[in-house]
């Protein structure tokens, strides 16, 4: 597995993707308090800036403690208004697969930022990290994320019943996967 420079800024037409730093805790803490973010994920808002900074500290090496996985995390910043709109996460595994996750702050929902950021990260994973499959897991009730991930070419490959229990109810998850075009072409020949 080849690791690209995880400290590099990534760009899209409307976004700058900044590698997540401890200092981002100060600017991301408040938008991460928005409760609608947590409707479909079994987490709660960070308890304090310090708690968030500690979490980001764990990510700062960009690798798992055993150095087998790449832990890639970005703060999405809007170019024009210079506002943070969300977070992107990717984990690259030793078997050349990756997992994608994202959070967009509610004030920026339905503006295409998640799609734009995710497209850039998926391209990075396929081209620079040479993964053959990128996966994502989405709560079955999260229609907007289902639409987004399907629009990016991901295919539903599994359903996990009772994947989590939070907010007093069981939640189910769809697992999605997208293969690199070279993997798809190889299977066709």
Q: Which pLDDT does position 7 carry in this prediction? A: 84
3 state SS of 80: coil
Predicted confidence at residue 3, as pLDDT, reads 55
State the fold for domain 10-134: Aminopeptidase (3.40.630)
Over the chain (189 residues), the average pLDDT of each successive run of 10 is 72 97 97 96 94 94 92 96 96 97 97 97 96 97 96 96 82 96 57
3-class secondary structure per residue, 115-169: HHHHHHHHHHHHHCCCCCEEEEEEECCCHHHHHHHHHCCCEEEEEEEEEEEECCE
Phi, psi of 4 (to 5 degrees): -80, 170
State the Cα–Cα distance between residues 22 and 53, nearest whole angstrom: 5
Q: What is the pLDDT of residue 189?
A: 46
Helix 143-151, helix 113-127: angle, nearest 10: 40
Give the residue from 182, 180, 187, 112 showing the smallest Cα distance to 144.
112
In this structure, are residues 88 and 82 in contact, taking their beta carbons and an 8 Å threshold?
A: no
Two structure tokens written together for 172: 């189910």
**What's the rounded Cα separation, in Å, for the pair 65 and 117?**
27
How do beta strands 155-166 and 169-179 pair?
antiparallel
| Residue 153, pLDDT score | 98
Q: What is the pLDDT of residue 133?
A: 99
Domain locations along the chain: 10-134
């Amino acid at each position: 597995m080849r690791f690209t420079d995880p400290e590099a800024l990534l760009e899209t037409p409307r976004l700058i993707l900044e590698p997540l730093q401890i200092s981002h805790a100060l600017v991301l803490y408040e938008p991460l308090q928005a409760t609608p973010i947590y409707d479909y994920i079994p987490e709660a808002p960070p308890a304090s800036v310090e708690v968030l900074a500690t979490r980001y500290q764990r990510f700062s090496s960009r690798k798992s403690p055993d150095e087998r996985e790449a832990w890639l995390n970005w703060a999405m910043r809007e170019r024009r208004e210079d506002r943070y709109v969300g977070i992107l996460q990717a984990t690259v595994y030793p078997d050349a697969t990756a997992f994608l996750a994202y959070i967009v702050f509610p004030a920026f929902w339905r503006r295409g930022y998640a799609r734009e950021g995710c497209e850039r990260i998926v391209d990075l994973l396929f081209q620079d990290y040479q993964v053959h499959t990128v996966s994502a897991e989405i709560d079955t009730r999260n229609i907007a994320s289902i639409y987004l991930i399907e629009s990016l070419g991901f295919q539903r490959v599994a359903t996990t019943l009772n994947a989590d229990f939070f907010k007093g109810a069981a939640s189910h998850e769809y697992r999605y996967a997208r293969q690199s075009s070279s993997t798809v072409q190889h299977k066709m020949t």
